[in-house]
Chain A
Amino acid sequence: MIKRKHNDVFLELEKAQKLCGIVAELVLFILIVGIFLIPPPEIPRLQILGIFAFVLIFTVVYYNLPRLYLNPRLALLPDFVYLTGSAFAVMGLGKYGSFLLIYLYLLIMIDAYIFNLRQLLIVTVVSIILLNVVSFFSWRGSGGVPFIILIQTYSLIAIATVSRIFASFSLSMRDQKLQLENLNKKIIADKKESLDLIDSLGDGIISCDKDGKIFLHNKSAIELLDTKDLSGRYLTDVFSLYDEDRIAIDLYKIFDEKSPKLIRSDLFFKKKNNWYRFYIHLNPVYQGREMITLIILFRDITREKMLEERSTEFVAVASHEMRTPLAQIEGYLFLALKQLEGVEPNIIENVKCAHNSAVHLINLTNDILTVYNIDGKRINVALKKVNFGVVISTIIKSFETKAKEKHIEVSFKNKISKDEAIVTDESKIVQILTNLIQNAVKFTDKGWVRVTLSEDPRNLIVDVSDSGIGIESSARSHIFEKFYRMENWETRKTQGTGLGLYIVKNLTERLGGKVECVLNKKIGTTFRVHFPKEYKNEEDIKKASEEELKNFIGSF
């Protein structure tokens, strides 16, 4: 496109030059013939003939070599030659109103016409009239011809030169203007193309400057935000987001230079009194340290989130609803076992298997529910003073029967003061330690399980060690992951969900502690759990004291 337009300019230039050339040749031809036919009285003939010959040769050479006449830089050259040549001729002939003066006038007017320089045309016409009037009177007075001819000639040369410069300048300007116009058209087309692309996106896009003023948006943004127009409005007016607790969020304050890109899927937008969950992708553009633009990409994920929540909720409700029938199955099998005692040893064995499976199923349901609560961050903590010595003793007692069955020794060593208690959640502690001791008993076929309670200045430390099968170092980094089981699924000997240690880890961390698998040199496995002596989670403490206050008031 641009190239073709560019050529048009050159064509126009070429046309102009050609026309000038033809006129020049024609006029020169007439002049030469004229001089030879009617020789003026005092003419240095040879001199003028020399000039004409030079101009003629130049014209023929110039207009027959496209390399010359198509070069814009040389556009002024022929005019210079003709003007100078004409000027010499005029002075040499010393005659006013000669062909040469007319030729000069013609040259200027043709220029002005071709290059559409109307102002120049007017100036030229006016100056020609003025010059002629002045020279007519001056000539009459002085009686001398050459001086006034000289003035006229030089003035005309000056006007012609200026007109030529203007013409050439205007041509290059026009060329540049055309180029710019084309470029602009292309930019507009490109911009429209990308805007169309942005518009066709299902996600909303908003670009704002550093003050939050919107300068770019797409159709989806308007639809998602349920508004008419966005450009020029402020982000805070049209796009106010809230967190789960319905507290307004300032998008400009939730990211910093260290984390340039930010993705949030936990924010809400209010539209016609309904809350919509939005996925937000914030992309700030920095110039140096200062943020100049904030690009926001967003989409409505209300439906997806609802489906996701529904499916997890289904798992929770299903496992919850399974509890009552499971309890009955387990209970009746337990009852059957009691009633069968002393009779039919074969049947007892069968019922025992069924009872074990029922217990396993119950544990599975409970684990799934706990994991559901952990993953949904729904673990509530009920704080009170907990005596670890007492808790551990009770748990160990509940494993006595199992330990006796497997002929392993389960012992507890308390290295701290018997009365020492720390503030934490007792039921969670029980759940954590039961899980660990249960695992130890499960994976130990002979030998012992030892539980040790010790302390350092900041923590209570519980070690659960066993002389069991141990954990390979390759498995060590995975054991706290959800659904990880050390054994092969098909060849496993022990029952388990692969959720136990995941629960242990998450509950311990919820209470501000940590759990680790300590490397045992010789035999078995040791799990070490740290519980902070000083409970740190402010929110839990606040809630606990509120609860206490409520109970206190309630007791009156």
Chain B
Amino acid sequence: MSKKGRVLVVDDDSGLCQLYKLTLEQEGYEVFTANQGEEGLSRAVKLKPELILLDIMMPMIHGLNVLDILKATPETKDIKIIVSSALSDDETKNKAKEFGASDYIVKSQATMAEVIARIGGILEKK
């Protein structure tokens, strides 16, 4: 199976990480996971994935900070980032866009099929 691309999922909920990993692998992506922000940052630098699915509410480092750091670091600034969060307020959404996120998904507002479609859409543009 030819790999469509490399995706890093950063989410403190390991169940969700596993779900994204299995589903996206089913779709033909190579998937890596990280359970917290710091780990996510180091894996992003090491693995240089095409896309990162990033949670916001995580212990230790806030997702928006991870996003900010990733976009400010030369090695990782070109990685497409989709923010996926349970927060649905406009302020967080605008912040995420401002920091350079390619898309914003409200967890469970978008079904899994939609998440797959959005990831596909963003990676296709590239």
Chain A: residues with CB nearer than 8 A to chain B? 320-324, 326-328, 330-332, 334-335, 338-339, 359, 362, 365-366, 369, 380-382, 427, 547, 551, 554
A-B contact pairs, 18 of them (CB 8 A): A321-B86, A328-B13, A328-B16, A328-B19, A330-B112, A331-B20, A331-B23, A331-B112, A334-B112, A335-B23, A335-B112, A362-B109, A366-B109, A380-B89, A380-B90, A381-B90, A547-B94, A554-B98
Does A365 contact B108, Cβ atoms closer than 8 Å? yes
Q: Which 3 A-B pairs have the closest CB atoms?
A: A327-B108, A334-B112, A323-B108
Does A323 contact B26, Cβ atoms closer than 8 Å? no
Say which residue of B86, B90, B94 sits within 8 Å of A323 (CB atoms). Answer: B86
Residues of A within 8 A of B106 (CB): 323
Say which residue of A326, A339, A381 sits within 8 Å of B108 (CB atoms). Answer: A326
Q: How far is the CB of A10 from chain B (nearest CB, A)?
A: 86
Q: How far is the CA of A486 from the CA of B15 in the complex (A)?
A: 39
Q: How far is the CB of A333 from chain B (nearest CB, A)?
A: 8
Q: How far is the CA of A274 from the CA of B119 in the complex (A)?
A: 50
From known contacts A326-B108, A327-B108, A362-B111, infer whether A332 and B90 are also in contact, taking CB-CB under 8 Å: no
Residues of A within 8 A of B124 (CB): none
Does B107 contact A327, Cβ atoms closer than 8 Å? yes
Nearest A residue to B110, CB-CB: A327
Q: Could you tell me which residues of chain B, from 1 to 28, have a CB within 8 Å of some CB in chain A?
A: 13, 15-16, 19-20, 22-23, 26
How many B residues, CB 8 Å from partner? 23
Nearest B residue to A428, CB-CB: B90
Q: How far is the CB of B92 from chain A (nearest CB, A)?
A: 11
Say which residue of A320, A331, A547 sits within 8 Å of B19 (CB atoms). Answer: A331
Q: How far is the CA of A338 from the CA of B93 in the complex (A)?
A: 31
Does A362 contact B108, Cβ atoms closer than 8 Å? yes
Q: How far is the CA of A330 from the CA of B109 in the complex (A)?
A: 11
The SS class assigned to the B binding surface is helix
From known contacts A320-B86, A339-B26, infer whether A380 and B91 are also in contact, taking CB-CB under 8 Å: yes
Q: How far is the CB of A120 from chain B (nearest CB, A)?
A: 94
Residues of B within 8 A of A323 (CB): 86, 106-109
Q: Confirm or deny: B88 has a beta carbon within 8 angstroms of a beta carbon on chain A.
A: yes
Nearest A residue to B91, CB-CB: A380
From known contacts A330-B112, A335-B22, infer whether A382 and B107 are also in contact, taking CB-CB under 8 Å: no
Nearest A residue to B104, CB-CB: A427
Q: How far is the CA of A324 from the CA of B91 in the complex (A)?
A: 20
Nearest B residue to A381, CB-CB: B90
Does A324 contact B112, Cβ atoms closer than 8 Å? no
From known contacts A324-B13, A330-B108, A362-B108, infer whether A382 and B19 are also in contact, taking CB-CB under 8 Å: no
Does B111 contact A334, Cβ atoms closer than 8 Å? yes
Q: How far is the CA of A422 from the CA of B36 in the complex (A)?
A: 41
Residues of B within 8 A of A362 (CB): 108-109, 111
Nearest A residue to B117, CB-CB: A398
Q: How far is the CA of A111 from the CA of B34 in the complex (A)?
A: 118
- Beta-carbon contacts of B83-121 to A below 8 Å, as 1s and 0s? 000101111011000100000001111011100000000
Q: How far is the CA of A335 from the CA of B94 in the complex (A)?
A: 31
Q: How far is the CA of A161 from the CA of B55 in the complex (A)?
A: 112
Residues of A within 8 A of B113 (CB): 334
Residues of A within 8 A of B19 (CB): 328, 331-332, 335
- Beta-carbon contacts of B44-68 to A below 8 Å, as 1s and 0s? 0000000000000000000000000
Given A332-B19, A380-B90, A382-B94, 16 extra CB contacts under 8 A: A322-B108, A323-B106, A324-B16, A327-B108, A330-B111, A331-B23, A334-B111, A335-B19, A335-B22, A335-B23, A335-B26, A338-B26, A362-B109, A380-B89, A380-B91, A381-B90
Q: How far is the CB of B52 from chain A (nearest CB, A)?
A: 18
Q: How far is the CA of A380 from the CA of B93 in the complex (A)?
A: 12
Q: How far is the CA of A362 from the CA of B110 in the complex (A)?
A: 9
Q: How far is the CA of A366 from the CA of B86 in the complex (A)?
A: 11
Residues of A within 8 A of B107 (CB): 323-324, 327
Give the residue among B13, B89, B108 with the most A Cβ atoms within 10 A: B108
Q: How far is the CB of A260 from chain B (nearest CB, A)?
A: 41
Residues of B within 8 A of A326 (CB): 108
Nearest A residue to B22, CB-CB: A335
